[in-house]
Structure 1
């Protein structure tokens, strides 16, 4: 195979070369002067495609569980060229954070109670979630609009370039993070040319975090699927007219690489959905109620499940997107009814909904649960905005899972849980308690300090009994008889006591569904 001899003529500093994935020559590159782009006839992609066709005659057939295509060099080159980042997140980076915000409220898309300082703090937390990544400098930049190609005005751009040049000379910055959901192709290309640094947006940084925390096969599949919409968006944004002036576009072969990968990922994820559907059916047959625990990222979902289930093996982490897999954990309600808690991936604002739609294969467990426990970080200054974002995302996901049918996309009952109250000042705690007493819309708890859990469990029990059609009954049965053994096996026994009127009988308080009660009557009555 011939070596690749042509790459984009971008003069990156030497210390950035391990970080940046060079864009191969198969990206059609056109200079500003209108010179025709250079394109290799015999490329690494073509050799890979030919090898793939020889190994697999049917391109639509995907063997279940075979995920070797996730480690595909051809795709890595396409993804690295589009996203400007390598797959190695362990490389140390010094990041300059720019937090743009719209000055005029009429054009602002963020909630009014979310300040630029709050946005900058979240952007900083994103960078700190990656090992060996440090914040070299952070800056808030007021703008008139987020849609301009240059993003910044000429005066601000000159000021930023000078600041960036000084930091780069001191080797204090290696990349630029513009804390905006997604940058357009034109914006990213312009900023990289002006600052001579790789430019990341929120989507690409979150992808890096997801790659780091994706350890299971399901998580790796869903993260790989989440990358594709971002790459396609950049390719579509680089239209023919724009390409002649400022950038590249994907070749037909590269588009086929993306389509083939997307087809394989969808096939694997369909298998995951079928497997999870079988697990849900099995839980339904065994009559297990399910409570899905959802919330903003790092709100304390895993910590709450650990407190409610008393499972020492759960190790919550103070990191964004620490949980990517939907996992099931068994616990008991005060009535001794067993309950399955489903831990889910956290949400985050200013990200396309399509990023989380890639996790539908596992988020279906939350949408199809009997109740939803919405955990919120009460100590966060933007907890009300976070709550609204999670609720809107849940409605969007329910609508998507229901196939666009509004009548079928109804959410289960939601219990609001306000976590981390121990981090509030005493005055703020009193104000929060007073507000909850007036509205009666949630529970004030601390999962770490394990306070406020008993009222929450009682509310969960009440909602579960109502949602699953269970009820509490007192049954008089022979002491030590088969009826007792049957109820212990098929119902939740709250307590037992001797019958004062008949020493041979015993009174059992049980939680039982109507269907199970009918089975008991047919068996013993």
Structure 2
């Protein structure tokens, strides 16, 4: 009886301490959110079942060697942000969130969800799923259900990018199975081909049953780099829309006032800069603005419109 009471007290103290830590993290999260809004940088929330490879993905996208993913439950207990740069030179913040699990203790559900509010605030969500895990379909559904319970807008869920990580391990498992079959000699080639085809059908059916849109589904490996270029391309296109970015091209005099404002200021991102083919004194600048920054720029430099040669807003 005494041992039972001791265990109960320990569990109560642990839960109380965890709640206190979550409260501190929530205050920290609100501070980080205010800072992100003030500097107007697009944000991407990376969510997924625990140990799916969220931190590994952020490390691969940001090339931040200081990030050290851990193969354990709740390896990420805090919501952290990490700076990255997209191929078009746009700065982006990746938000590493707490890993999802099934059957969260009732007393911790509210605290757990509080740490995931960044998924609601982010411009875009990347859902990382470990396709090598035998229960990856169940894990995927757990994450989707939790996101829906967070009252995330349906439009944000529809634009969410789902990446099936650790695809290299899936291929390795298939390779290992084939080697075993070859050593066994009990199955002929025809039976082996039928089994492989059946596995492919089951795999595709499982993915289809998960209600994942094909255009938002990518197969990647953070370890080998497979699929990361494609992910960056999809991410960039979606984030430009989700964050209301405006693309404009200007032809300006090199070293002139407008050149200085656009190139040396912080009002926009320069995606591309080329010398004008007709007059080398002029530079063609492809600029990325947030809608708010673009409105301020137009109001302050009303004469800039005559130097504008394209607008993809």
Residues in 2 aligned to 1:326 and 1:335: alpha-carbon distance in whole angstroms: 26
CA apart distance, 1:418: 0.6
Please name the residue that 1:29 is paired with. Answer: none
Q: Which of the two has greater helix per residue?
A: 2
Question: SS of 2:151's equivalent?
Answer: helix
Moved more, 378-387 or 297-306: 378-387
Give structure 2 stretches of 5+ with no counterpart: 176-196, 304-313
Aligned residues: 270
Question: SS of 1:339's equivalent?
Answer: strand
Please name the residue that 1:510 is paired with. Answer: 287
Please name the residue that 1:418 is paired with. Answer: 164
Instruction: Identify if the C-alpha distance between structure 1 residues 323 and 275 changes in structure 2 by more than 3 Å, giving closer, same or farther.
Output: closer
Moved more, 419-428 or 283-292: 419-428
CA apart distance, 1:472: 2.4
Residues in 2 aligned to 1:472 and 1:485: alpha-carbon distance in whole angstroms: 18
CA apart distance, 1:473: 2.1
CA apart distance, 1:389: 0.6
CA apart distance, 1:275: 4.3
Matches within 5 A, 1:333-348: 333-348=86-101
Q: TM-score, normalised by structure 2?
A: 0.76
CA apart distance, 1:365: 1.4
Question: SS of 1:306's equivalent?
Answer: helix
CA apart distance, 1:283: 1.2
Q: 1:297 aligns with which of 21, 46, 50?
A: 50
CA apart distance, 1:385: 1.2
Instruction: Identify if the C-alpha distance between structure 1 residues 360 and 433 changes in structure 2 by more than 3 Å, giving closer, same or farther.
Output: closer
Instruction: Identify if the C-alpha distance between structure 1 residues 427 and 303 changes in structure 2 by more than 3 Å, giving closer, same or farther.
Output: closer
Question: SS of 1:416's equivalent?
Answer: strand
Residues in 1 aligned to 2:276 and 2:204: alpha-carbon distance in whole angstroms: 43
Instruction: Identify if the C-alpha distance between structure 1 residues 396 and 453 changes in structure 2 by more than 3 Å, giving closer, same or farther.
Output: same
CA apart distance, 1:467: 0.8
Q: Deviations over 1:187-243 (max 9, x none)?
A: xxxxxxxxxxxxxxxxxxxxxxxx7xxxxxxxx97x622xxxxxxxxxxxxxxxxxx
Residues in 2 aligned to 1:371 and 1:338: alpha-carbon distance in whole angstroms: 14
Q: 1:224 aligns with which of 9, 18, 34?
A: 18
Q: Deviations over 1:303-350 (max 9, x none)?
A: 000000000110011112111110000000111100000001111113
Please name the residue that 2:134 is paired with. Answer: 381
Please name the residue that 2:104 is paired with. Answer: 351
Report which structure shows greater RCO (CA 8 Å, sep ≥6).
2
Q: 1:461 aligns with which of 236, 240, 244?
A: 236
Instruction: Identify if the C-alpha distance between structure 1 residues 299 and 510 changes in structure 2 by more than 3 Å, giving closer, same or farther.
Output: same
Superposed CA RMSD in Å reads 3.2
